[in-house]
Chains A and B, each alone.
Chain A
Amino acid sequence: MNSNTVRAAIGAVVVIVAVVLLIVLGGSNSDSAGNTTKGVTTITIKHGKPVGGIAQLTYNEGEQVRFKVDSDVSDEVHMHGYDIMKDVKAGGSVSFDFPATIEGVFEAELEGRKEQILELTVNP
């Protein structure tokens, strides 16, 4: 093979790969966007752990984040990034309602137990 043939072959491969990438990723783009959380989500804490695993909430920037924590243990709920802390008593509940102003992925945890209960995603 002379170098021109090699170059042409590589060029062809490059174009094919680029097109495939654009198609595959362009296709997956539509279903990942726009699934934001609506209403108030309740996170139930049993024996100091979130029932059903770490809750996932997704919002767009500017929307209102609303969730409630029902807990059977006494602890402090810390919403990282936004740095909101609220105490909750055993058998009590505490509500969060704040605007999604900071983009990124944040966790909320039971501060005393270092137990993550929520992953909050705020898209731009």
Chain B
Amino acid sequence: MTWLSSLLPVAHALVARKDLPVPAWLFAWGASIVLIVSFFALSVGWRRPRFERDHWRPLDARLSRALLSLPAQVVYGLVGIFLLGVAIYAGLRGTEAPDRNFALTFLYVTAWLGFPAFSVVLGDVFRPFNPWRAVGRAAGSAFTALAGQRPAHLRYPERLGRWPAAVGLLAVVWLEIVYGASGGVAVGLDPHAAAVAAAVYSVYTLAMMALFGVEQWCRTGEVFSVYFGMFGRLGCFGTQDGRLGVRRPFAAATSWATVPGSAAVVIASIATTSFDGAQEGAFKSALESTFNHLVDAGFGLTAALRTTDTIFILLTFAGVALVYLIGVRGMSGVPRAPSFEKLRSGFAHTLIPIAFAYLVAHYFSLFVFQEQAQFTYLLSDPLGTGTTDLFGTASSGIDFQVIGSNAIWYVQVGALVLGHVLGLTLAHDRATAYWGDYRLATRSQYWMLAVMVAFTCFGLYLLSVANS
């Protein structure tokens, strides 16, 4: 049944160009540097925690008031609502060609990858633009004005924590890379399906906000708030008591994972990126053989492909979770260790930089190339009908020579190495806070070190076998 393997389609509808695999010598250098840096990290005397407090200082009061005033917040919200509306409208009414329709590139590249990129530097920039939060708050204010009392909400079950967001994160990626793939032809998710999904998600989110309250749902359940907010914890701006302030970079991450289910969110992020990177390289033959078995068992081509991919996404999630839990288990064996549960949530934030590094490693070039489309022809002709030219850029294309393969390789490997260093740093810092005694802290960190080396080398390996 080898002919079937040629039917395995190319995953992304948007991608006209794929990255060349990272060459072996660069892989070897990257991995070696990671190992040497890690060994060095163990021998540094990191005796006091430095990130447990974020050292937030308020910015100039006038600037803060101007940026956070109610009219300004209304404007941010309207911008978010407008863009979501354009994306849904373009998806429903525009062309079925994924690469010519505003919807897919905007939702899955500009927003999905752009917000993490800005958030890791600036903080949670999605929150003001969150269209559902804006609608929810407006509805809440209207209710209060009309009924004369604030809306009553159900108590959110504490133990559920961020699990709805973790499941939602898997679903968002599943929609693009599993549901969008079909057996036999090289198409991806069509814009119509993406728009319908966005509309359904909007209804679901507003309903949940009505049940549990806008802020509660944004903190734990709303996929995009939780996911982008997680990366925002690395950034250096944050608000406290309605004032904008600057804080120590990365430090706000240390208090992120106190909500149950947070570890699942960051693990889902690493797992979905890994799966996407591995499906055309490392997992290719395993996917093909599962796919062929399912087709032989009587599945249709598309059903077989979706089932195969779903199984492997879940396996990847389980694998990433297992590696993390082994590390936590190991740490809990060190004398005077806190409980397993405390360690499990206490070190989850150390994976955030790794998750971001995986995003950069796998999607940097896609982002660079696809944003050219976003700001030229997709902006001028959002429906892709070929009849509108709002800004005179409808006939532009993507310049694939804007960045070379060598530069892309260095960015990919550099991101993984830096993510590794930052993850290690956060883990060391947390260990000194938990153990107090820095010798015991260092001993506990052999385990987290092994976890981080495993993730980084796996990431490098995925890059080196991409598309080969």
For residue A74, CB closer than 8 A to chain B, the reply is no
Indicate if the CB atoms of B27 and A104 lie closer than 8 Å.
Answer: no
Indicate if the CB atoms of B186 and A21 lie closer than 8 Å.
Answer: no
For residue A5, CB closer than 8 A to chain B, the reply is no
For residue B68, CB closer than 8 A to chain A, the reply is no
Q: Mark B1-23, 1 if CB is under 8 A from A, else 0.
A: 00101100110000011111001
For residue A81, CB closer than 8 A to chain B, the reply is yes
Which chain B residues numbered 126 to 145 have a C-beta less than 8 Å away from chain A?
Answer: none
B31: chain A residues at CB < 8 Å are 18, 21
A26: chain B residues at CB < 8 Å are 24-25, 28
With most chain B CB atoms within 10 A of its CB, the pick from A18, A107, A121 is: A18
Indicate if the CB atoms of B43 and A7 lie closer than 8 Å.
Answer: yes
For residue A46, CB closer than 8 A to chain B, the reply is no
Among B5, B24, B32, B439, which residue has its beta carbon within 8 angstroms of that of A29? B24
A25 to B19, CA, bound (A): 20
Q: Name the residue of chain A whose CB is nearest to the CB of B2.
A: A53
Known interface pairs A7-B43, A29-B23, A105-B467; A22-B185 also in contact (CB < 8 Å): no
Assign chain B's interface to a size class.
35 or more
**Least distance between B454 CB and chain A CB atoms (Å):** 12
B5: chain A residues at CB < 8 Å are 53
A115 to B467, CA, bound (A): 18
For residue B443, CB closer than 8 A to chain A, the reply is yes
A124: chain B residues at CB < 8 Å are 20, 404-406
Among A3, A14, A104, which residue has its beta carbon within 8 angstroms of that of B20? A104
Known interface pairs A6-B446, A22-B32, A116-B10; A105-B185 also in contact (CB < 8 Å): no
For residue A68, CB closer than 8 A to chain B, the reply is no
Q: Mark A80-122, 1 if CB is under 8 A from B, else 0.
A: 1101000000000000000001111111010001111000010
B43: chain A residues at CB < 8 Å are 7
Assign chain A's interface to a size class.
35 or more
B20: chain A residues at CB < 8 Å are 103-105, 121, 123-124
Indicate if the CB atoms of A28 and B24 lie closer than 8 Å.
Answer: yes
For residue A11, CB closer than 8 A to chain B, the reply is yes
Indicate if the CB atoms of A80 and B17 lie closer than 8 Å.
Answer: yes
For residue B335, CB closer than 8 A to chain A, the reply is no
A40: chain B residues at CB < 8 Å are none
Q: Name the residue of chain B whose CB is nearest to the CB of A117.
A: B186
For residue A54, CB closer than 8 A to chain B, the reply is yes
Q: Name the residue of chain A whose CB is nearest to the CB of B406.
A: A124
A29 to B429, CA, bound (A): 39
Among B27, B187, B404, B443, which residue has its beta carbon within 8 angstroms of that of A3? B443
A105 to B20, CA, bound (A): 6
Q: Mark B27-40, 1 if CB is under 8 A from A, else 0.
A: 11001100110110
For residue A32, CB closer than 8 A to chain B, the reply is yes
Indicate if the CB atoms of A83 and B17 lie closer than 8 Å.
Answer: no
What residues of chain B have their CB less than 8 Å away from a CB belonging to chain A? 3, 5-6, 9-10, 16-20, 23-25, 27-28, 31-32, 35-36, 38-39, 42-43, 185-187, 397, 400-401, 404-406, 439, 442-443, 446, 467
With A10-B446, A102-B401 known, 9 other A-B pairs at CB within 8 A are A3-B442, A25-B28, A29-B23, A32-B24, A53-B3, A103-B405, A104-B17, A106-B18, A116-B9
6 intermolecular pairs with C-beta atoms under 8 Å apart: A14-B38, A17-B35, A32-B24, A104-B19, A107-B10, A114-B187
Q: What 10 pairs between A and B have smallest CB-CB spacing?
A: A53-B6, A105-B18, A80-B16, A25-B24, A103-B405, A104-B17, A29-B24, A18-B32, A102-B400, A114-B185
